């Protein structure tokens, strides 16, 4: 195969995705460079990259959003291409343009595609114009009448920022009396996170399932899909468990949704990797939005198709034609990904912090760990609470769930509370195992988050007591005779 036109690729990201990208770069014989904020100095990506360049900002997040600094870093590293990862600047058209203008290849769609599909309102209009189904909605073209018009959508409804994603700033409204508050709060958060306070309101589908389709396009107009993923197990619009294929779809529905996704991408002349998200409920699906980047959960698609999506992104960015056609892509077995978060589902998912004192990942056939943390690292609230992804691949869904359950049980992370046990509770839950989940599943089953009401702590208390010096010493200090007499009284 012809040599790639790149030598060094700068990763404008952090955490597990930076590590994930470095792994592919190593496989392709490319040099990796990362930017990092001081708060990330001890993370594995910084240790693994061939070059690591420090960046700074008012907050750690701000550093990773600082376009001039990142481009300067790319030059400093002599990078000829840049991978934005997910989040941060990955769906920022201005950034994509600035990178290209700096003479560096942007590994992602064109700025035009980002602008078209990255803006929820424009994307919806575009998809609707091209004959695909979308849900009823109102957009904020006129703030003065927005609240009034929003009421016409009817409850339940969803208030969302026009920019951004990842659940930030979203509010469900079930009672119109709360609408104005919800809009005000969503606007404040949208302004802070995305610098864009515009909102839109759409009808909220009860018990919807979140199904998304991975697409890949090249600069020759070829577009393929890599089947769907289901990401219905969510808490506060944050995905917790993703899988492929979706247990909800019949072969016919699968064909229809995947072809619709490919059709939308084709209509948008989409290049590189992207994800078309759909809401599926009551036997129907309709377009939700398109993510013009690599997704967190891309790994489940890689597991069932055997295709390295990051490598494909680099090939496309290098101007290569896709090396396969739709019919070459085969889905095999079942993959499940569980996200390990630094949070306490038992206490309303509050984020947790701490130093990772012990970290041991499970291994075995069909188990893949994409981790962004190492032992000794301090977990802070400076960034997203995701620590790692545990991805498993098995012939069937049940076997995959069992394998994931076992793998998470074997995972040892001490020093920072995580959601590991919560993940295992989902993986052995009846509703999950029978495939009956929807995006409100965790809210409807609060016992999964809260955990067992009265679990037996004896073994833990015994261990702690035996490990605590004052406790052990006070037991040992008692003379043998008196210890033998116990709490005798006359």
Partner 1 sequence: MQRIASAADVKSHDFCLNELHNKRLAAELKERQRAARFNRPERDLERLRRQNKLFVRDRIEALLDPETPFLELSTLAANKAYDGEVPGAAQVVGIGIVSGREVIVHADDASVKGGAWYPLSVKKIVRALDIAIENRLPVVHLCDCAGGFLPLQAEFFADRYYAGRIFRNQSILSKMGVPQVAIAMGHCTAGGAYVPALSDYNIIVEGTGAIFLGGPPVVKAATGETVSVEELGGAHMHTSVSGTSDYFAHSEMHAIAIARDIVARFNRVTKASINRVAPEPPAYDASELYGILPRDPRVQFDMREIIARLVDGSRFHEYQPRYGESLVCGFARLYGYQIGLIANNGALLSDSALKGAHFIQLCDKNRTPLLFLQNITGFMVGREYERRGITKDGAKLIMAVSGASVPKFTVICNRSHGAGTFAMAGRAFDPRFMFSWPQSQISAMGAEQAAGVLTHVKARQLARAGGRLSEQDLAAIREPIVEEYRERSSAYYATSEIWDDGILDPVDTRNALAIVLSASLNTPIERPRYGVFRL
Partner 2 sequence: MKHSFEVDGVDYQLSLSRCQQGYRLRLCNKVIAPVALSQQAEGCGVLTIAGESEPVRFAIDGEVIHVHIRGRTRILHYRDPLRTLACANNEADHLLTRAPMPGLVVTTSVSPGQSVSAGTALMKIESMKLETIIRSSRDGVIDRIHFNEGESFERGAVLVTLSDEGR
Using rule CB under 8 A, residue 477 touches partner 1: yes
Residue 238 binds which entry of partner 1, partner 2, none, CB below 5-8 Å type-dependent: partner 2
Interface positions, 347-406, toward partner 2 (CB under 8 A)? 347, 350-355, 357-358, 360, 380-382, 384-385
Binding mask 190-209 for partner 2 (x = CB under 8 A): --x-----------------
Residue position matching structure tokens 């890949």:
216
Residues 6+ apart with CB under 8 A from 82: 9, 10, 11, 12, 70, 74, 99, 104, 105, 106, 107
Using rule CB under 8 A, residue 483 touches partner 1: yes
Query: Considering only CA atoms, which of 392, 408, 407 is closest in space to residue 335?
Result: 392
Residue from 14, 20, 254, 293 carrying the catalytic annotation:
293
Residues 200, 135: Cα–Cα separation, whole Å: 12
Residue 381 binds which entry of partner 2, partner 1, none, CB below 5-8 Å type-dependent: partner 2
Using rule CB under 8 A, residue 486 touches partner 2: yes
| CA 322 to the chain's CA centroid | 26
Stretch of residues binding partner 1 (CB under 8 A), selected from 69-77, 280-288, 340-348, 471-479: 471-479
- The CB-of-418 to partner 2 minimum distance in angstroms stands at 7
Contacting residue, 2, 129, 469, 482, with partner 1 by CB under 8 A: 482
Residue 293 annotated among the catalytic residues of the structure: yes
Residues 147, 140: Cα–Cα separation, whole Å: 9
Contacting residue, 29, 68, 282, 470, with partner 2 by CB under 8 A: 470
| CA 162 to the chain's CA centroid | 19
Stretch of residues binding partner 2 (CB under 8 A), selected from 63-71, 270-278, 391-399, 470-478: 470-478
Using rule CB under 8 A, residue 488 touches partner 1: yes
Residues 6+ apart with CB under 8 A from 434: none
- The CB-of-348 to partner 2 minimum distance in angstroms stands at 9
Choose between 357 and 485: whose C-beta lies nearer to partner 1. 485
Angle at CA of residue 478, ends 473 and 484, nearest 5°: 130
Q: Omega of the bond prior to 13 within 30 degrees of 0, cis? A: no
Contacting residue, 59, 130, 145, 474, with partner 1 by CB under 8 A: 474
Using rule CB under 8 A, residue 488 touches partner 2: no
Stretch of residues binding partner 2 (CB under 8 A), selected from 210-218, 265-273, 327-335, 473-481: 473-481
Using rule CB under 8 A, residue 490 touches partner 1: yes
Neighbours of 301 (CB within 10 A): 30
Neighbours of 256 (CB within 10 A): 13
Which residues of 181-305 form beta strands (DSSP E)? 199-203, 209-217, 223-235, 238-244, 272-281, 284-291
- The CB-of-485 to partner 1 minimum distance in angstroms stands at 4
Residues 407, 418: Cα–Cα separation, whole Å: 15
Interface positions, 409-428, toward partner 2 (CB under 8 A)? 409-410, 412-415, 417-418, 420-421, 424
Tokens of 79: 């990078």
- The CB-of-318 to partner 2 minimum distance in angstroms stands at 36
- The CB-of-461 to partner 1 minimum distance in angstroms stands at 14
Q: Residue 318 burial by CB count (10 A; 0-12/13-18/19+): exposed, middle or buried?
A: middle
Using rule CB under 8 A, residue 458 touches partner 1: no
- The CB-of-472 to partner 1 minimum distance in angstroms stands at 12
Tokens of 283: 């036997």
Query: Considering only CA atoms, which of 78, 150, 162 is closest in space to residue 118?
Result: 162
Binding mask 50-89 for partner 2 (x = CB under 8 A): --------xx------------------------------
Count the residues in the chain: 490
Stretch of residues binding partner 2 (CB under 8 A), selected from 115-123, 140-148, 429-437, 476-484: 476-484
Tokens of 133: 């189904």
Choose between 133 and 357: whose C-beta lies nearer to partner 2. 357
Sign of torsion, CA 266 4 51 358?
A: positive
Residue position matching structure tokens 């569980």:
338
Residues 278, 213: Cα–Cα separation, whole Å: 8
Torsion of CA 414, 417, 418, 424, to 10 degrees: 80
Q: Which residues are catalytic?
A: 293
Site for partner 1, rule CB under 8 A: 474, 476-479, 481-490
Site for partner 2, rule CB under 8 A: 58-59, 167-168, 185, 188-189, 192, 236, 238, 343, 346-347, 350-355, 357-358, 360, 380-382, 384-385, 408-410, 412-415, 417-418, 420-421, 424, 457-468, 470-472, 474-476, 478, 480, 483, 486
């Amino acid at each position: 195969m012809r040599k790639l036109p790149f030598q060094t690729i700068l990763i404008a990201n952090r955490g597990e995705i930076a590590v994930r990208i470095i792994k592919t770069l190593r496989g392709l014989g490319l040099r990796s460079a990362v930017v990092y904020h001081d708060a990330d100095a001890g993370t594995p990506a910084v240790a693994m990259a061939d070059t690591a360049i420090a960046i700074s900002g008012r907050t750690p997040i701000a550093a990773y959003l600082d376009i001039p600094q990142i481009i300067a870093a790319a030059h400093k590293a002599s990078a000829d291409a840049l991978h934005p990862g997910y989040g941060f600047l990955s769906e920022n058209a201005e950034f994509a343009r600035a990178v290209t203008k700096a003479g560096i290849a942007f590994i992602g769609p064109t700025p035009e595609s980002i602008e078209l599909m990255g803006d929820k309102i424009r994307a919806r209009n575009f998809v609707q114009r091209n004959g695909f189904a979308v849900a009823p909605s109102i957009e904020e073209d006129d703030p003065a009448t927005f609240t009034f018009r929003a009421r016409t959508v009817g409850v339940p409804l969803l208030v969302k920022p026009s920019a951004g994603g990842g659940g930030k700033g979203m509010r469900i409204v079930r009672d119109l009396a709360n609408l104005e508050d919800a809009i005000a709060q969503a606007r404040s958060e949208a302004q802070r996170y995305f610098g864009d306070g515009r909102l839109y309101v759409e009808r909220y589908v009860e018990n919807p399932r979140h199904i998304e389709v991975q697409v890949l396009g090249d600069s020759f107009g070829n577009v393929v899909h890599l089947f769907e993923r289901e990401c219905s197990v969510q808490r506060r619009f944050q995905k917790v468990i993703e899988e492929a294929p979706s247990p909800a779809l019949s072969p016919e529905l699968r064909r229809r949704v995947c072809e619709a996704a490919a059709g939308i991408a084709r209509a948008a002349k989409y290049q590189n990797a992207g994800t078309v998200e759909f809401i599926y409920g009551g036997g129907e699906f309709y377009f939700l939005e398109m993510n013009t980047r690599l997704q967190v959960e891309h790994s489940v698609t890689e597991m069932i198709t055997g295709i390295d999506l990051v490598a494909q992104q680099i090939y496309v960015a290098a101007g290569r034609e896709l090396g396969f056609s739709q019919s070459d892509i085969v889905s095999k077995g079942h993959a499940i990904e569980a996200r390990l978060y630094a949070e306490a589902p038992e206490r309303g998912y509050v984020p947790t912090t701490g130093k990772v004192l012990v970290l041991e990942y499970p291994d075995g056939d069909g188990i893949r760990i994409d981790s962004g943390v190492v032992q000794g690292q301090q977990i802070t609230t400076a960034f997203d609470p995701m620590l790692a992804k545990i991805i498993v691949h098995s012939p069937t869904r049940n076997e995959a769930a069992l394998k994931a359950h076992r793998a998470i049980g074997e995972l040892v992370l001490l020093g920072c509370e995580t959601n590991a046990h919560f993940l295992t509770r989902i993986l052995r839950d009846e509703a999950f195992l029978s495939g009956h989940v929807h995006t409100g599943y965790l809210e409807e089953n609060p016992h999964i988050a809260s955990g067992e009401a009265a679990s037996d702590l004896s073994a833990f208390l015994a261990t702690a007591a035996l490990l605590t010096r004052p406790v052990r010493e006070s037991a040992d200090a008692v003379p043998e005779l008196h210890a033998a007499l116990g709490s005798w009284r006359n």
